[in-house]
Structure 1
Amino acid sequence: MNLLLAEVAQATQRLAAAGVPSPRNDAEELAAFVHGVKRGELHSVKDADFDARYWEVVARREAREPLQHITGRAFFRYLELQVGPGVFVPRPETESVVGWAIDAVRAMDVVEPLIVDLCTGSGAIALALAQEVPRSRVHAVELSEEALQWTRKNMEGSRVDLRQGDALTAFPDLDGQVDLVISNPPYIPLTEWEYVAPEARDYDPELALFSGEDGLDLIRGLERAAHRLLRPGGVVVIEHADTQGGQVPWIFTEERGWADAADHPDLNNRPRFATARKALP
């Protein structure tokens, strides 16, 4: 074993002791970041090239600073995004939400599907949809100016229409025309603050995390926004906490103009997102 791999093993133990959820992965990612190689190339780093800065970034991760803030990048489906203080770091769970949305759009008999991403944050969802559904017309909105500094970097050169504004009132020019509305909104109850992982609680913006006593305040507003934006037969996809399974579909009732409201599991088989179709006239 070369020196770097031995140090990675020690770092893994330190991160595990600090309660980091994926200590081996993070120890390797940090080593690759500091030494400018891919994770699979760590064995090729010569002992003489070991960079002592590795222990500086390990200490930061040990203090529960997000891995993505240290490296300045987050991976989401086929994307590499720039992230840092002020913007929500995209999570792997959201990849399954986007996967469902992509399948739904591809199944539509629409040549150039119109998609709206509400509360876009880093732009992960909108950019993934634009990349994987090439003929789509994707629009995204974000309220926070701090988050938008990162969104604009990530969307530079893309064909996504990015706007700043309130997700509940955004895109009045698209009312009744949209094929799919998607959102990963804040959904953590205010009462759960102390139970949130330090990486999120201490570093992600509160605006992207918390939404009322039961966590569903913004989702209730997004239900009306989605109904306004969608064409009849259009689909809405909303991410939620796994503890909210069964609650969100009840927001999208037949009485409010919806059909086929349902919950869907993530890759760990936990309820992760709700979908509904705007009822036909």
Structure 2
Amino acid sequence: MLLAEVARATQRLADAGVPSPRFDAEELAAHVHGTERSRLHSVADAEFDARYWEAVARREAREPLQHITGRAFFRYLELQVGPGVFVPRPETESVVGWAIDAVRAMDVAEPLIVDLCTGSGAIALALAQEVPRSRVHAVELDERALLWARRNVEGSRVVLHHGDAREALPELTGQVDLVISNPPYIPLGEWEHVAPEARDHDPELALFSGEDGLDTIRGLERAARRLLRPGGMVVVEHADTQGGQVPWIFTEDRGWADAADHPDLNKRPRFATARRVAR
């Protein structure tokens, strides 16, 4: 019976325009029945939980899957998420992967890393986990997002700070090996084109940033320039439509070298990097 209900739910979600209807229908069934997607076949007909249709209706209304289940997966992490915090996206995993490789290539025993606009803490936690000797600081301005970040970083090596990413951590000026950020980058005029899951549920502070979407990134350039030591790296995610624009913010006359764009797994421009040079 459960698999038949999942098939019905899949069709309902597909009709509602949900991008991954089968996956979401299965994930909701697994969540409600306290099992894994791979074990749904073992749930007996008598165990079918009518709360499943409540969860399906919420997803049908385009509430994010992660808000319904209360969890999001990011690289090797399972994070707590919900209303008030940006849900980490799979495309950001490639940004973190590049950063991890860059830090590992540095001749630094205990690299100092700063994650600006941390949201749920996903990036900071992934770096702390996969670069074991790193010292990681994470900064978040939004108080609601900060509550989720605190839950996620509890017991980790990540040091969480409440503040404006553009002015954060003056005590670390000139000492940081890597600055990384997934900032807001959607132009204000693109509001109506944003998927309902993000537009109606992610915090606006995590989505929109000025007329061209680059206001926050311009501020992050100044912050990274202040925080990084010579030879340190900055990694900033951006929209795939902003490929070619962000590297031009990290110009030579501002103290940067090797500014470049990089693609995500779908070969779309997804993040920019640059190296801090001595002035």
TM-score calculated relative to the size of structure 2: 0.99
The answer to whether structure 1 residue 257 and structure 2 residue 255 are counterparts is yes
Residue aligning to 2:33? 35
Among the aligned pairs, what percent are the same residue?
86
Q: Distance in 2 between matches of 1:279 and 1:264?
A: 20
Residue aligning to 2:144? 146
Q: Distance in 2 between matches of 1:280 and 1:230?
A: 10
What stretches of structure 1 of length at least 5 have no aligned partner? none
Which of these residues, 77, 80, 104, is aligned with residue 82 of structure 1?
80
Which of these residues, 230, 247, 251, is aligned with residue 228 of structure 2?
230
Which of these residues, 92, 95, 101, is aligned with residue 90 of structure 2?
92
Q: Distance in 1 between matches of 2:8 and 2:247?
A: 46
Deviation at 1:280, TM superposition (A): 3.5
SS at structure 1 position matched to 2:138: strand
Q: Distance in 2 between matches of 1:27 and 1:270?
A: 28
Q: Distance in 2 between matches of 1:235 and 1:185?
A: 16
Q: Distance in 2 between matches of 1:147 and 1:234?
A: 28
Report the AA paired with residue 48 of structure 1.
Answer: A
Residue aligning to 1:129? 127
Residue aligning to 1:47? 45
Q: After the TM superposition, which residues 1-281 of structure 1 pair with which residues of structure 2 at under 5 Å, given as runs?
A: 3-281=1-279
Over aligned residue pairs, what C-alpha RMSD do you find? 0.6
Q: Distance in 2 between matches of 1:22 and 1:246?
A: 30
Deviation at 1:150, TM superposition (A): 0.5
- Output one character per residue of 1:217-257: Cα deviation in whole Å (capped at 9) or x when no partner: 00001001000000000000000000000000000010111
Report the AA paired with residue 129 of structure 1.
Answer: L
What stretches of structure 2 of length at least 5 have no aligned partner? none
Q: Give the ranges of 4+ consecutive aligned residues of structure 1 lying more than 4 Å apart after TM superposition.
A: none
Q: Distance in 2 between matches of 1:78 and 1:61?
A: 25
Q: Distance in 2 between matches of 1:53 and 1:269?
A: 40
SS at structure 1 position matched to 2:13: helix
Q: Distance in 2 between matches of 1:272 and 1:5?
A: 37
**Equivalent pairs, count:** 279
TM-score calculated relative to the size of structure 1: 0.99
- Output one character per residue of 1:55-89: Cα deviation in whole Å (capped at 9) or x when no partner: 11001000000000000100000000000111000
Q: Distance in 2 between matches of 1:140 and 1:51?
A: 40
Deviation at 1:279, TM superposition (A): 1.4
Report the AA paired with residue 53 of structure 1.
Answer: R
- Output one character per residue of 1:23-80: Cα deviation in whole Å (capped at 9) or x when no partner: 1110010000000001100000001101111111001000000000000100000000
Q: Distance in 1 between matches of 2:47 and 2:159?
A: 44
Q: Distance in 2 between matches of 1:76 and 1:202?
A: 22
